[in-house]
């Protein structure tokens, strides 16, 4: 055997001995930095959440383009003040404000969304722990408070009404009635009072309340239902969220789970989860119909942005603010 062969044989025996020693000690070679798992930044949505959030502007863009490219839709007369097509010549059943889905679902949208949430929380086994149920209700209360401020009441007129008047909008018939002394001054301040007085909103920028409601409500249900069943293993799901701990360390959100392992029954949607997903699907369909037949693109965009103003503080901000997370928690944790 030559000197070169002897050196090669010795090197091989040394490598075998090192591998045997590692197995005996129960150790393994350290993974390279490139093989380590990259954590999702706690101040940003997870990849799954990002995909869902991108679906909303995608629907709005598709609907807007469809309304511009469809000959039938472009040919139908549009009532600018009413933010819709003239009912008698509407290009589709869904282009009419009196369609059954608009009158029975969208107009009562928050009741449907709240009912679906309550049904899920009351029936799903993940909410056996009282603290988890309480925090879920707190998150619902925060999102509901934003819905009230934007669409119903904000220490007087709602934010949508205030924004409309701030940008130059007015209630034509009611304003004339006030000047003549036949109507109360308050009737010109809100859309509901204006309509009750026989008036019409004119001018100004009207934030799309439909887009706001459908985006906020559907994403609320996706968060509250989705994370509960997804992190329990539904459809092969796993915990993607990361949180900042009190000591500044960034860890998986699963470390704060109340139980070490997921109960098998938690993977099932159950009757409440299926009902909630049905409401989400209908929200998505009506959002598309709104994108095609109602409001201008800018009004739909502002409706989307105003909905996002509640999504981030309630569902993303607590991940990197431990004090806030202690109060409202995270869905599924």
Decide if 300 contacts 292 (C-beta within 8 A): no
Q: What is the DSSP letter of 320?
A: G
pLDDT given for residue 198 in this prediction: 64
Q: What is the DSSP letter of 201?
A: E
pLDDT given for residue 138 in this prediction: 97
∠ Cα 183 189 190 (to 5°): 105
Q: How far apart are CA 274 and CA 120, in angstroms?
A: 9
pLDDT given for residue 7 in this prediction: 46
Q: How far apart are CA 310 and CA 303, in angstroms?
A: 12
pLDDT given for residue 256 in this prediction: 80
State mean pLDDT over 273-286. 96
State mean pLDDT over 270-294. 95
Q: What is the DSSP letter of 44?
A: S
- Whether residue 330 is predicted with pLDDT greater than 60 in this model: the reply is yes
Q: Which of 61-70, 82-91, 242-251 is predicted least confidently?
A: 82-91
State mean pLDDT over 141-162. 94
pLDDT given for residue 225 in this prediction: 94
Average pLDDT, the chain: 81
Confidence at 50, pLDDT banded by 50, 70, 90? very high
Radius of gyration of the CA atoms of the chain, in A:
28
Instruction: Report percent pLDDT > 70 for the chain.
Output: 75
Q: Residue 240: name the closest of 24, 41, 29 by CA.
A: 41
* Highest-confidence segment of 51-65, 180-194, 247-261: 51-65
Q: How far apart are CA 60 and CA 278, in angstroms?
A: 20
- Whether residue 21 is predicted with pLDDT greater than 60 in this model: the reply is no
Confidence at 222, pLDDT banded by 50, 70, 90? very high
- Whether residue 118 is predicted with pLDDT greater than 70 in this model: the reply is yes
Between 109-123 and 130-151, two packed helices, what is the crossing angle to 10 degrees? Answer: 180
């Amino acid at each position: 055997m030559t000197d070169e062969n002897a050196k090669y044989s010795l090197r091989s025996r040394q490598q075998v001995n090192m591998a045997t020693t590692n197995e005996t000690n129960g150790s393994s070679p350290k993974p390279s930095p490139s093989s380590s798992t990259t954590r999702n930044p706690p101040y940003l949505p997870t990849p799954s959440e990002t995909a869902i959030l991108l679906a909303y502007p995608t629907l709005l863009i598709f609907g807007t383009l469809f309304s511009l490219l469809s000959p039938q839709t472009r040919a139908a007369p549009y009532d600018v003040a009413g933010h819709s097509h003239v009912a008698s010549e509407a290009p589709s059943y869904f282009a009419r404000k009196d369609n059954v889905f608009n009158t029975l679902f969208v107009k009562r949208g928050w009741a449907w969304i709240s009912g679906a949430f309550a049904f899920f929380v009351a029936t799903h086994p993940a909410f056996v722990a009282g603290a988890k149920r309480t925090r879920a209700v707190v998150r619902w209360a925060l999102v509901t408070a934003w819905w009230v401020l934007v669409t119903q009441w904000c220490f007087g007129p709602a934010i949508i009404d205030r924004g409309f008047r701030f940008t130059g909008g007015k209630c034509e018939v009611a304003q004339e009635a006030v000047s003549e002394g036949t109507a109360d001054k308050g009737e010109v301040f809100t859309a509901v009072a204006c309509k009750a007085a026989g008036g019409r909103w004119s001018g100004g920028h009207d934030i799309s309340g439909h887009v706001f409601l459908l985006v906020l409500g559907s994403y609320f249900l996706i968060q509250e239902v989705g994370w509960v069943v997804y992190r329990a293993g539904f459809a092969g799901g796993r915990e993607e969220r990361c949180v900042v701990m009190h000591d500044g360390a960034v860890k998986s959100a699963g470390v704060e789970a109340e139980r070490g392992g997921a109960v098998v029954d938690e993977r099932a949607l159950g009757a409440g989860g299926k009902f909630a997903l049905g409401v989400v699907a209908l929200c998505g369909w009506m959002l598309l119909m709104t994108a095609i037949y109602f409001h201008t693109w800018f009004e739909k965009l502002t409706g989307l942005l105003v909905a996002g103003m509640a999504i981030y503080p309630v569902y993303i901000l607590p991940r990197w603010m431990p004090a806030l997370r202690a109060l409202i928690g995270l869905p599924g944790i």
